[in-house]
Amino acid sequence: MSLVKQQFQQLQQAYASCPYPSYQQRQQQLSALRQAVTAHSSALCQAVSRDFGYRSIDETRLLEIMPSLSGIDYQLKQLKGWLKPEKRHVHYSFMPASNRVIMQPLGVVGIIVPWNYPIFLALGPLMAAIAAGNKAMLKLSEFTPATNEVLVSLCQQALATEVVIIQGDADIAAEFASLPFNHLLFTGSTAVGRKVMQAAADNLTPVTLELGGKSPVLIAPDANISDMAKRILFGKTANAGQTCVAPDYVLVPAAQLEPLINALCQGFQQFYPDFASNPDYSAIINPAQYQRIMTMLQHASSNGARVISCDGKAATANSERRLALQLIVGASENSQLLQQEIFGPLLPLIPYDNLNDALHYIQQRPRPLALYLMSDDNATQQHVLQQSHAGGVCINDTLVHVAQHDLPFGGIGPSGLGNYHGKEGFLRFSHQKAVHQKGRFNSGQFIYPPFKRTLFKALLKWLTR
């Protein structure tokens, strides 16, 4: 038996010894996790920067440490209420009786963590699993070994008997996905998500898939371009665009295309002055990802697309794997740029003449993880919300909807399956057990055989009238 399977069975045994942790136990575990995150925060930030080649410490604190801590705080504040049994209605024909729903832990849950946000995308699902009373097994990315080392230490300090961390390559990941978890949550690409779902199906393991896709920005005709440009920039340049909900392309009124280009370039230079030496901008995580992005950019340029580098200098390969935001106009519809998730600092701009044409463009493509609408017009907002599908929508901003702990987060169709965060995370890792309870008097006796009884026939006639 492999080590991975042994560790899984040990977690199963640990759960069997305590299948319903009390509120106090869960509260203690979440508090211990919070303390450990705080204690390890500097080490985590340094480790992520090493794994990426460079990532701003401030950016990691903003995008990973802060939402992890505030997420735990939210869980601690709400958990007692979530655990209360929920009363449900009883039909009068079953009286006297009571109905209620209780939240029961699922058991041992698996969490597969990607490389792009290795802290938050490990701790976010983990805090939900712990709040729901489960044991958890995490498979961390092989591309973030330094961060993994700190996360192992953190979990050993806070949740030594609740969590097992697995590291390794694709073969280990495949073995991990094939374990008979009580639930499996995967964050990553759509292609790998399909394989994870296939592996889980052999065990009838329910899955939550947090994927990605091409999240559009739709700039309505009424939008203020100069105001919206910086909001788009924040979502696209955070982590150098290596974010599953980063804006993937922008639909802009044709008359506003050039003003948008100017506003994005000016905003970028304000965000990241002296780009070549700016300490706030992240590197692309590894040479393979960097080459993929550069190839995509070069292909677009060689096929006639217009490329604008927001730092004012032509993009060239460099050993630091840093690439300023590149705006692309006129990319071919068949190009990788418009067919695949970009996951980097490339931003196609697509002009349109009519808002409904832009909305149709979105509707004709796979449903995205996020949709960003830039408009102050209420009628436009309602029209787009009603006529589009997306995992989540953010109006007049980008990215920050993910940090709203009281909103569910998840994809739809090829961008994901199921959601979590906040209460939805607690529900995702819980079984809503239905309980119907009767007392000494049994009202059911009136519907027992033999059915030829006069009283039964009269009762049945009355109930089906």
pLDDT higher than threshold 80 for residue 454: no
Q: Is the pLDDT of residue 327 over 70?
A: yes
**Do 385 and 398 belong together in one domain?**
yes
| Mean pLDDT across 154-162 | 95
Q: What is the CATH number of the domain that holds 76?
A: 3.40.605.10
Q: 3-state SS string over 378-439?
A: HHHHHHHHHHCCCCEEEECCCCHHHHCCCCCEECCHHHEECEECHHHHHHHCEEEEEEEEEC
Across 54-58, average pLDDT: 96
Judge whether residue 448 has pLDDT over 90: no
* 454 occurs within a structural domain: no
Q: Examine residue 278 and state whether it is found in any structural domain, yes or no.
A: yes
Give the pLDDT of residue 187. 95
Query: In the chain, what is the straight-line distance between the N-terminal and C-terminal CA atoms, in Å?
Result: 61
Question: How much is the average pLDDT of 318-331?
Answer: 94
Active-site entry in 45, 155, 244, 310: 244
Q: Is 127 helix (H, G, I), strand (E, B) or coil?
A: helix
228 and 343, same domain (yes or no)? yes
Q: Which residue in 233, 192, 196, 227 sits closest to 212, CA to CA? A: 192
HSE-up of 432 (CA within 13 Å, CB side)? 11
Q: Is 66 in the same domain as 22? A: yes
Beta-bridge partners for 87:
100
Question: Which tens digits make up the pLDDT trace of 115-149?
Answer: 999 999 999 999 999 999 999 999 999 999 999 99
- Does residue 175 share a domain with residue 294? no
Q: Does residue 333 carry a catalytic annotation?
A: no
Q: Domain range for residue 391?
A: 216-410
Which amino acid would we find at residue 126?
A: L
pLDDT of residue 222 exceeding 70: yes
Amino acid at 165: I
Find the helix packing angle between 170-177 and 3-17, rounded to 10°. Answer: 40
**Residue 457, pLDDT above cutoff 90:** no
Q: How many domains does the chain have?
A: 2
pLDDT of residue 312: 87
Cis peptide before 450 (omega within 30 of 0): yes
In a domain, 204, yes or no: yes
Q: What is the model's pLDDT at position 444?
A: 78
- Specify whether the backbone of 421 is left (phi greater than 0), alpha (psi in -120 to 50) or beta: left
In a domain, 456, yes or no: no
Residue 445 counted as domain residue: no
Residue 82 pLDDT: 97
On whether residue 251 sits in a domain, the answer given is yes
> pLDDT-derived band of residue 238, with 50, 70 and 90 as boundaries?
very high
- Separation CA 164–CA 120 (nearest Å): 17
CATH number reported for the structural domain that contains residue 313 in this entry: 3.40.309.10
pTM value is 0.93
**Do 226 and 262 reside in the same domain of the chain?**
yes
pLDDT band at residue 1 under the 50/70/90 scheme = confident
Q: Of all residues in the chain, what percent carry a pLDDT higher than 90?
A: 88
Q: What is the pLDDT of residues 188-215, one digit of tens each?
A: 999 899 999 999 999 999 999 999 899 9
Q: How confident is the model at residue 350 (pLDDT cuts 50, 70, 90)?
A: very high
Going by pLDDT thresholds of 50, 70 and 90, the confidence category of residue 176 is very high
What is the rounded distance in angstroms from the CA atom of residue 78 to the CA atom of residue 84? 11
Q: Is there a domain that residue 304 lies in?
A: yes
223 and 200 co-located in one domain: no
Average the pLDDT over 331-335 and give the result: 91
Q: Is residue 203 located within the same domain as residue 235?
A: no
Question: Whole-number mean pLDDT of the chain?
Answer: 94
Indicate if 220 and 207 belong to the same structural domain: no
Structure token digits, residue 4: 């991975």
In this predicted structure, which of 7-11, 249-253, 455-459 has the lowest mean pLDDT? 455-459
Q: In this structure, are 268 and 197 located in the same domain? A: no
Distances (CA, A) of 125 to 10, 119, 318, 419: 21, 11, 36, 10
For residue 15, the model assigns a pLDDT of: 96
* Catalytic-role residue among 162, 175, 210, 424: 210
Q: Give one DSSP letter per residue of 264-327, joined into a string.
A: HHHHHHHHSSSGGG-TTSPPPSSHHHHHHHHHHHHHHHHTT-EEEETTSS-----TT-----EE
DSSP state of 159: -
199 with 280, same domain: the answer is no
Q: Is residue 258 assigned to a domain? A: yes
Q: Is 244 a catalytic residue?
A: yes
Verify that 169 and 313 share a domain, yes or no. Answer: no
In this structure, are 104 and 229 located in the same domain?
Answer: no
Q: What is the pLDDT of residues 14-41, one digit of tens each?
A: 999 999 999 999 999 999 999 999 999 9
Q: Tens digit of pLDDT for each residue in 283-317?
A: 999 999 999 999 999 999 999 999 999 998 887 87
In the chain, the percentage of residues whose pLDDT exceeds 70 is 99
Asked if residue 462 has pLDDT above 90, the reply is: no
